C-alpha cells in the first residue's frame, strides 16, 4: 500500500529540472514523438561572460562522446541565451566549432548545410538574452526552433547534426568543462 502511494506521488509531480546559471532545464522533452532525457547541462562562457546555458537531450543517457554521436534517433540541443549575441557572431561561432572538429574536406562538405543554418539565424537577427534556441534532430533533419516555434525548414543530413554535436563533444570542444557537463559530469 505504501509503495502504491509513493508511486502515485512520484507520478503526480514532474521530475525535478536541472538548474544551470539560473536557468531551469526540463528533465524530459519530446522530439518527433520520442521522449528524451536530459543527459547533461552546462554553461558556455566566453572570456568572463556567460553566453548560454545548454542542455543535451538523448533517448538514453551516455557519458561517452563517441556513443552520443552514434546514438540513433531524435536528439535535442537546447541553448538558453544568457546575453544578446548578433546572429552573425552566433553563426560564426558555430562554423568555427565545426571547422575545429573536422578535417578541411569534411568541413567543406558541410558548407551547404551550414549556409542553411546561417540563413535561418539571419532571419532571427539576434540571439537575445532569455531566448531559447533548440536544435533538434528529428530523424529527418535538423529543425531550428526559437522559443518553441520552428524557424525555417529542416536542414537535411544526419552528418550535419553530428557536426553540430561535435562543436561541444568533439576532440576539440568549444569548452572542455562544458563537454564534461553535457556528458553528465560536473564541470
pLDDT value, residue 187: 57
Residue listed under C-alpha cell 534532430: 137
Residue 65 lies in a domain: yes
Q: Identify the pLDDT of residue 53.
A: 98
Output the CA torsion 23→27→177→89 (10° steps): -50
Look up the pTM and report it.
Answer: 0.89
Q: Where are the beta strands (DSSP E) in 49-148?
A: 49-58, 75-81, 85-86, 126-127, 132-137, 142-146
- In three-state secondary structure terms, 43 is strand
Tell me the residue range of the domain where 102 lies. Answer: 16-182
pLDDT at 186: 64
Inside any domain, residue 165? yes
Give the pLDDT confidence score for residue 7 in this predicted structure. 41
Task: Convert the pLDDT of each residue in 140-162 to its tens digit.
Answer: 999 999 999 999 999 999 999 99
- Quick check: 1 pLDDT over 60? no
Give the whole-number percent of the chain exceeding pLDDT 70: 90
CB 69 within 8 A of CB 58: no
107 domain-assigned:
yes
Distance CA 173, CA 175 (A): 5
Tell me if 75 is assigned to some domain.
yes
| pLDDT, tens only, 64-123 | 999 999 999 999 999 999 999 999 999 999 999 999 999 999 999 999 999 999 999 999
Query: Which residues, in sequence order, are bridge partners of residue 25?
Result: 18
Does 33 fall in a domain?
A: yes
In the structure, what pLDDT confidence band is assigned to residue 185 with cuts at 50, 70 and 90?
Answer: confident
CATH number, domain with residue 34? 3.50.70.10
Contacts 24+ apart (CB under 8 A), 99-108: 100/167, 100/170, 100/172, 100/174, 101/163, 101/166, 101/167, 101/170, 101/171, 101/172, 101/173, 102/163, 102/166, 102/170, 106/163
The verdict on residue 10 lying in a domain is no
Angle between helix 158-169 and helix 104-124 axes, rounded to 10 deg: 90
Residue 4 within any structural domain of the chain: no
pLDDT at 12: 39
∠ CA 51-53-59 to the nearest 5 degrees?
140
**From CA 34, how far away is CA 119, in angstroms rounded?**
28
Mean pLDDT confidence for 12-33:
83
Query: What pLDDT is recorded for position 60?
Result: 96
In a domain, 187, yes or no: no
Task: Report whether pLDDT(8) > 50.
Answer: no
Where is pLDDT greater, at 5 or 148? Answer: 148
3-state secondary structure of 25: strand
- Domain count of the fold of the chain: 1
Amino acid at each position: 500500500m505504501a509503495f502504491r502511494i509513493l508511486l502515485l506521488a512520484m507520478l503526480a509531480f514532474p521530475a525535478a529540472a536541472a538548474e544551470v546559471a539560473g536557468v531551469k532545464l526540463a528533465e524530459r522533452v519530446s522530439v518527433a514523438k520520442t521522449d528524451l532525457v536530459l543527459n547533461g547541462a552546462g554553461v558556455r562562457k566566453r572570456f568572463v561572460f556567460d553566453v548560454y546555458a545548454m542542455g543535451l537531450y538523448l533517448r538514453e543517457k551516455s557519458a561517452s562522446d563517441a556513443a552520443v554521436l552514434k546514438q540513433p534517433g531524435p536528439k535535442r540541443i537546447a541553448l538558453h541565451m544568457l546575453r544578446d549575441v548578433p546572429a552573425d557572431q552566433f553563426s560564426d561561432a558555430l562554423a568555427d566549432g565545426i571547422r575545429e572538429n573536422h578535417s578541411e574536406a569534411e568541413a567543406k562538405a558541410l558548407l551547404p548545410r551550414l549556409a542553411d543554418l546561417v540563413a535561418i539565424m539571419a532571419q532571427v537577427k539576434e540571439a537575445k538574452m532569455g531566448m531559447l534556441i533548440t536544435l533538434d534532430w528529428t530523424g529527418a533533419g535538423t529543425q531550428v526552433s526559437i522559443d518553441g516555434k520552428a524557424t525555417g525548414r529542416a536542414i537535411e543530413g544526419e552528418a550535419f547534426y553530428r557536426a553540430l554535436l561535435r562543436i561541444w563533444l568533439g576532440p576539440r570542444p568549444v569548452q572542455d568543462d562544458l563537454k564534461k557537463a553535457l556528458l553528465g559530469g560536473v564541470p
